[in-house]
C-alpha cells in the first residue's frame, strides 16, 4: 500500500527564519526612505560622497568605518541614516554613542526619533511621543541604546550589532584611572561576526586625534573630482603658496603676496592642477557629483576608473572630507575663511579642524630664554602689585617633595594674564600666608586671590594636599581646590573638568556622604593648557587676547624662562616632552598653566560676564587722597628670590620672598 505524503511547503515566515537575509543597498534605501527630522527627503544630489561610505557599510568584509571631516558636512546624519536602514532591513541591537549625555539625548530624542517617524518604512514602529525615551530607542522590532563618554555604565554590558559613534575626538572621562571611553565603545559587540561600526568626528590635535589616527591606519580615502575642462581627477585643496599654476583654491594677493579677506572672497576661483583652467563656483556642484573615493595607493585614470589597490587594504575603511565639498560653503566662503584665520593660533586651529577637516599640528617652540624674557617682560607695574586692568586674581601651587612653587596672576576680561608674584616657599604655613595675601591694586583697593589650585598628582603628598584644601577652603570663597592633570587626549577641547572629591577624612554631607561640601577636584586638560602657553609665549604679543604679560623687574630671572621653555611639543609622540630632564624642572611652567586653568574655573569659561573694570562704592575726595597716601607709603612686596644658577631647586632660600599681610 502506498501512502501519499503531501510535500512540505514552508510559509514566508519560516523562510525568513532559515534563509539568509538578502543584501541591502543602503544608498538606494536612503534615497527612497531617509528623511531629516524636519521631514525633508535625503538630499543625495548635494551629498554624493555619502554613496561610497554607504557602500562600505554594506560590504560584508568591512567591519569598521571612520569618517573625519570638517563641521557641518552631515557626518552625524549619515551615521543615523546607516543605523536607520540597517534596523529596517535586518533589525537587531544597536548603540548610539556620543561625547556626553546631553548630546546623546538630543541626538536620539530630537533627531533619530523624528527620522523614524518621518520615514514611511518605520513610521508604524514609533510609539506615542510621550512614550519615547531620550536615552534609548525601543520599538517592537529593535532596541538602540544610548551611551556617552564618562559613563562606564552606559558603555558597558551591551552587545550591539550596529554602532554609530559621533564626535569621538570629544570623548572624555571622569576619572584619570578610567579606560579610554573610545576604546570601551569600540569593544562593544566585537564578538559578533557581522558587527558594523561607524565612527565620525571633526578632528582636534595631531597625535591626539582619535579619528585622525584611525583614518590614517585604514584606507584613508579622499574624494577626487574631475575637472570640467580636461577631466583630470583631483582632490580639492587650498593653494597656500604664491604659485597659481600649482592649482587649488586661488585668490588674488597684493604685490607683497599678502591676502585680504574681502579680496579673497571676491576673486576666489579653483585652478585645475593639470590644465590650469579656472573652475567657477557654478561648476563646482556638478563636478563634485562625479567624484570618486580614492584610497592611498590608488588613482583615477583618464576614463574615470579607479586603479590600484589601497595601501592599507583590510576590514577598516576610512574617509576624509573638507568644506570645499560642502553644498553650503562656496569657493568664496572657503577663501575668506582661510585668510581670516591666518595670524592667530586659535583661528588657525579652528580652520584646520572645522574647514579643512584635518588635525591641527601645534606650535613647536624654539626660542632662547633671553629672547623670551625680552618678549614677555614689558609690564610697568612693580612685582607684588596688581596692574589696573586686572579684575580678578588666581593662584597656583605646584607641590614638590620639600618645597612649594607658587605663582599669582591677575586677569582681565580679554583673558590676558598679568604675573603678580612667583616664587618658592618651604612649608604649608607659608602657602597659607601666600593665599591670604591682600595684593595691592593700582586702583587703590587691595584684591585677594579667590580661586586657588594646588597640584595633587604626587601620590606621596596627595593626602596632605587634600587635607590642606579642606582646612583653608571657604565655601563662598576664597576657594582652595586640589587639581590633577589629565592624560593627553582624554578631555577633548575643554580646558578643565570637575569631579567630586571622595571623603576619606571623616565627616559627611547629609545629602551625599561621599561629597565634601564646597570642595571640588579640578581636572586640568594638559593638552589644551600646554598649547595655550606655547602660543602665549610665541604667537601672541603681550596685550593680545589670551596672552601673558610679565613685569619688567623680572627680566633677569632666566631660570624662570628656562623652565617655561623646557617642554616642547613632539609630533612623533603626539605630546609635550621635557627637553632637559636632569637640571631644569618645569615647575613654573606648570604653575602658569594651572593659574590659567584657575581663571577658567573662576569664570566658568564665561569671560564675557566679567566686568571691564572693578567697581567700588563712591568715596569723597578726602577719603580717596587718604587711601592713596596710605598705599603709596606702604612697603612694596619684593620679588621672589631667584633660584640658584643651576636652576634645579630643592631647598630654596626663602628670604625676602614676599611681604606677609594678614587679612584685616
- Candidate ranges 83-97, 242-256, 566-580; pick with highest mean pLDDT: 83-97
Residue 496: exposure state from Cβ atoms within 10 A (0-12, 13-18, ≥19): buried
Euclidean distance between CA atoms 653 and 648, whole angstroms: 13
Report how far Cα 152 is from the mean position of its chain's Cα atoms. 21
pLDDT given at position 623: 58
pLDDT at 592: 98
Q: Name which residue leads in pLDDT, 359 or 638.
A: 359
- Residue range 290-306: mean pLDDT, rounded: 95
Query: 624: pLDDT confidence band, cut at 50, 70 and 90?
Result: low
Rounded to whole angstroms, the Cα distance separating 271 from 59 reads 36
- Of the candidates 138, 191, 183, the one whose C-alpha atom is nearest the C-alpha of residue 165 is 183
Q: How far is CA 580 from CA 465, 566, 583, in A?
A: 28, 6, 6
Q: In the chain, what percentage of residues exceed pLDDT 70?
A: 86
pLDDT of residue 406: 98
pLDDT at 647: 41
Which has the higher per-residue pLDDT, 307 or 516? 307
CATH number of 369-633: 3.30.420.240
| Per-residue pLDDT at 509 | 44
Residue carrying C-alpha cell 592599507:
312
DSSP string, 535-570: HHHHTS-TTSTT-EEEEGGGTT-HHHHHHHTSEEEE
pLDDT tens digits, one per residue of 51-104: 999 999 999 999 999 999 999 999 999 999 999 999 999 999 999 999 999 999
Task: Output the pLDDT for position 14.
Answer: 58
Span of 118-127, 134-143, 157-166, 338-347 with lowest mean pLDDT: 338-347
State the DSSP string of 233-269.
Answer: EEE--B--SS-GGG-EEE----TTS---HHHHHHH-E
Which position has the higher pLDDT, 194 or 364? 194
Lowest mean pLDDT, pick from 138-142, 471-475, 491-495, 657-661: 657-661
Q: Is the pLDDT of residue 511 over 50?
A: no
151 pLDDT above the threshold of 60? yes
pLDDT tens digits along 629-657 = 555 555 544 444 444 333 444 444 443 33
Question: What pLDDT does 487 receive?
Answer: 77
Residue 143 pLDDT > 70:
yes
- pTM here? 0.69
345: pLDDT strictly greater than 70: yes
CA quadruple 337, 339, 340, 341: dihedral sign: positive
CATH 3.40.50.300 range(s) for the chain read: 20-217
Grid coordinates of 530: 600646554
Q: Does domain 20-217 have CATH number 3.40.50.300?
A: yes
- Domain ranges in the chain with CATH number 3.30.420.240: 369-633
pLDDT in tens, 380-395: 999 999 999 999 999 9
Query: Mind spelling out the 3-state secondary structure of 20-43?
Result: CCCCCCHHHHHHHHCECCCCCECC
- List the single range of 294-303, 475-484, 502-511, 546-555 with lowest mean pLDDT: 502-511
Half-sphere exposure (Cβ direction) of 206: Cα atoms closer than 13 Å: 13
Length of the chain: 664
The per-residue pLDDT of the chain, averaged, comes to 88
Amino acid at each position: 500500500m502506498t501512502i501519499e505524503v503531501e510535500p512540505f511547503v514552508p510559509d514566508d515566515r519560516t523562510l525568513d527564519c532559515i534563509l539568509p537575509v538578502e543584501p541591502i543597498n543602503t544608498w538606494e534605501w536612503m534615497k527612497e526612505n531617509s528623511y531629516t527630522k524636519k521631514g525633508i527627503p535625503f538630499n543625495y544630489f548635494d551629498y554624493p560622497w555619502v554613496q561610497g561610505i554607504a557602500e562600505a557599510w554594506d560590504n560584508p568584509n568591512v567591519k569598521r568605518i571612520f569618517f573625519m571631516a570638517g563641521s557641518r558636512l552631515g557626518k552625524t546624519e549619515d551615521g543615523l541614516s546607516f543605523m536607520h536602514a540597517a534596523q529596517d532591513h535586518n533589525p537587531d541591537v544597536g548603540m548610539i554613542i556620543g561625547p556626553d549625555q546631553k548630546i546623546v539625548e538630543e541626538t536620539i530624542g530630537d533627531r533619530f526619533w523624528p527620522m523614524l517617524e518621518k520615514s514611511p518604512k518605520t513610521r508604524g514602529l514609533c510609539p506615542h511621543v510621550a512614550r519615547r525615551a531620550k536615552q534609548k530607542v525601543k520599538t517592537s522590532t529593535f532596541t538602540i541604546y544610548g551611551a556617552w563618554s564618562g559613563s562606564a555604565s552606559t558603555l558597558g554590558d551591551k552587545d550591539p550589532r550596529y554602532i554609530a559613534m559621533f564626535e569621538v575626538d570629544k570623548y572624555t572621562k571622569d576619572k584619570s584611572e578610567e579606560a579610554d571611553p573610545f576604546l570601551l565603545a569600540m569593544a562593544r559587540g566585537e564578538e559578533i561576526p557581522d558587527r558594523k561600526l561607524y565612527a565620525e568626528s571633526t578632528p582636534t590635535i595631531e597625535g591626539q586625534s582619535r579619528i585622525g589616527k584611525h583614518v590614517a591606519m585604514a584606507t584613508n580615502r579622499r574624494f577626487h573630482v574631475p575637472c570640467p575642462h580636461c577631466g583630470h581627477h583631483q582632490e580639492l585643496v587650498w593653494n597656500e603658496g604664491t604659485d597659481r599654476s600649482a592649482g587649488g583654491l586661488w585668490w588674488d594677493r597684493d604685490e607683497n603676496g599678502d591676502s585680504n579677506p574681502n579680496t579673497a572672497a571676491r576673486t576666489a576661483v579653483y585652478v585645475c592642477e593639470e590644465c590650469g583652467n579656472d573652475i567657477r563656483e557654478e561648476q563646482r556642484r556638478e563636478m563634485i557629483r562625479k567624484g570618486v573615493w580614492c584610497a592611498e595607493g590608488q588613482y583615477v585614470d583618464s576614463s574615470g576608473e579607479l586603479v590600484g589597490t589601497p595601501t592599507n587594504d583590510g576590514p577598516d575603511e576610512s574617509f576624509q572630507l573638507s568644506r570645499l565639498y560642502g553644498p553650503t560653503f562656496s569657493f568664496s566662503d572657503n577663501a575668506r575663511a582661510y585668510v581670516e584665520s591666518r595670524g592667530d593660533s586659535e583661528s588657525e586651529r579652528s580652520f584646520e579642524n572645522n574647514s579643512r577637516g584635518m588635525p591641527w599640528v601645534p606650535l613647536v617652540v624654539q626660542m632662547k630664554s633671553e629672547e623670551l624674557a625680552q618678549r614677555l617682560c614689558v609690564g610697568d607695574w612693580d612685582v607684588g602689585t596688581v596692574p589696573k586692568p586686572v579684575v580678578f586674581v588666581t593662584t597656583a601651587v605646584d607641590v614638590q617633595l620639600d618645597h612649594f612653587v607658587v605663582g599669582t596672576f591677575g586677569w582681565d576680561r580679554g583673558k590676558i594674564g598679568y604675573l603678580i608674584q612667583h616664587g618658592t616657599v618651604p612649608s604649608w604655613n607659608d602657602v597659607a600666608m601666600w593665599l591670604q595675601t591682600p595684593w595691592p591694586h593700582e586702583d587703590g583697593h587691595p584684591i585677594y586671590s579667590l580661586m586657588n589650585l594646588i597640584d595633587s598628582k604626587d601620590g606621596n603628598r596627595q593626602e596632605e594636599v587634600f587635607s590642606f584644601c579642606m582646612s583653608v577652603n571657604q565655601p563662598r570663597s576664597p576657594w582652595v581646590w586640589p587639581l590633577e592633570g589629565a592624560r593627553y587626549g582624554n578631555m577633548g577641547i575643554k580646558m578643565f573638568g570637575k569631579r567630586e572629591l571622595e571623603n576619606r577624612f571623616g565627616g559627611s554631607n547629609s545629602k551625599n556622604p561621599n561629597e565634601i561640601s564646597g570642595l571640588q577636584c579640578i581636572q586640568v586638560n594638559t593638552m589644551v593648557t600646554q598649547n595655550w602657553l606655547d602660543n602665549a609665549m610665541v604667537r601672541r604679543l603681550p596685550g593680545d587676547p589670551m596672552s601673558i604679560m610679565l613685569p619688567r623687574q623680572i627680566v633677569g630671572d632666566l631660570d624662570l624662562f628656562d623652565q617655561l621653555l623646557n617642554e616642547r611639543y613632539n609630533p612623533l609622540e603626539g605630546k609635550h616632552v621635557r627637553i632637559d630632564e636632569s637640571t631644569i624642572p618645569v615647575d613654573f611652567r606648570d604653575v602658569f598653566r594651572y593659574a590659567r586653568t584657575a581663571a577658567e574655573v573662576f569664570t566658568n569659561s564665561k569671560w564675557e560676564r566679567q566686568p571691564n573694570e572693578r567697581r567700588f562704592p563712591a568715596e569723597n575726595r578726602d577719603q580717596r587722597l587718604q587711601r592713596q597716601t596710605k598705599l603709596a607709603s606702604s612697603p612694596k612686596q619684593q620679588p621672589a628670590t631667584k633660584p640658584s644658577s643651576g636652576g634645579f631647586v630643592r631647598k630654596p632660600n626663602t628670604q625676602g620672598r614676599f611681604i606677609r599681610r594678614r587679612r584685616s
